[in-house]
Copies of this chain bind each other. A is one copy, B any other.
Amino acid sequence: MKIPAVAISRLSVYARHLSVLDTNGREVISSGHLADLCGVNPAQIRKDLAYFGEFGVRGVGYYVKELLFEIRKILGADKQWRLALVGAGNLGSALLRHMSRADRGYRFIVAFDRNPKRIGERIGEVEVKPLDAIDRLIEALDIEIGAIAVGPESAQEVCDRLIRAGIRGILNFAPVQIQCPPHVSVEHVDFTLKLDRLCYRLTSES
């Protein structure tokens, strides 16, 4: 059964709010209250969860810790994922610093850059290595996901290199479509698409 990507993103949002509730010592939450927090309606939560089984208790709601545990398991977020960054420029450095503060299931282990001046630099928790070290270090450090934050002109080359080194998951920040074989998953982070949406609304509402 194919689960829509938007349902998976909503599960992430549910998990985030459940995590805050759990930290605050909350044990049970009504489906209506959880829905309000997440900006959806209760039926949507039920529908999204129904892909994976039965959750929640009629007349009670959801047990916070239990539901959080189950959603994390579904998302694969019950483990810590090991990431490598390629491209330690402005955007790359911002990512490294951001993630080193974030208490989530993702951790940058290493960064790679083409620029000799950046090699050896420590950013956040990681050290910048030369591009040529990709082949060796991806396997040695047991990296599972590669984040690409290089310019559009070298994104495909970097992507091919990561895949040759064994990477199966790619988060692409370069403003360009990259081609991958079917066994590799790619997500493209492109905020200009969001800007386009925003401007469409600003235009059509004025």
- A81-B202 Cα distance, complex, nearest whole Å: 11
Is there an interface contact between B81 and A90, defined as CB atoms closer than 8 Å? no
B-binding segment of A62-70, A158-166, A168-176: A168-176
Contact between chains at B98 and A169 (CB < 8 Å): no
Closest chain B residue, CB of each to CB of A194? B187
Query: What is the interface of chain A mostly: helix, strand, loop, or mixed?
Result: helix
| Closest residue of B by beta carbon distance from A191 | B189
Question: Is A23's beta carbon under 8 Å from chain B?
Answer: no
What are 19 A-B contacts defined by CB distance under 8 Å?
Answer: A5-B197, A8-B196, A9-B193, A12-B192, A75-B196, A75-B200, A76-B202, A77-B199, A89-B94, A91-B91, A91-B94, A91-B98, A144-B202, A145-B198, A185-B198, A185-B201, A185-B202, A186-B198, A187-B197
Closest B residue by C-beta to A186? B198
Tell me how far the C-beta of A156 lies from the nearest C-beta in chain B, rounded to whole angstroms: 15
Determine the chain B residues whose CB is within 8 A of the CB of A199 once the complex forms.
Answer: 75-77, 81, 105, 145, 169
Proximity bits, A118-159, B CB within 8 Å = 1, else 0: 000000000000000000000000001100000000000000
> Which 4 residue pairs spanning A and B have beta carbons closest together?
A76-B203, A90-B94, A187-B194, A91-B94
Counting CB contacts under 8 A, is A33 at the interface?
no
A102, CB-defined interface residue at 8 Å: yes
Interface: A106 (CB within 8 A): yes
Closest-CB distance, A116 to chain B (whole angstroms): 20
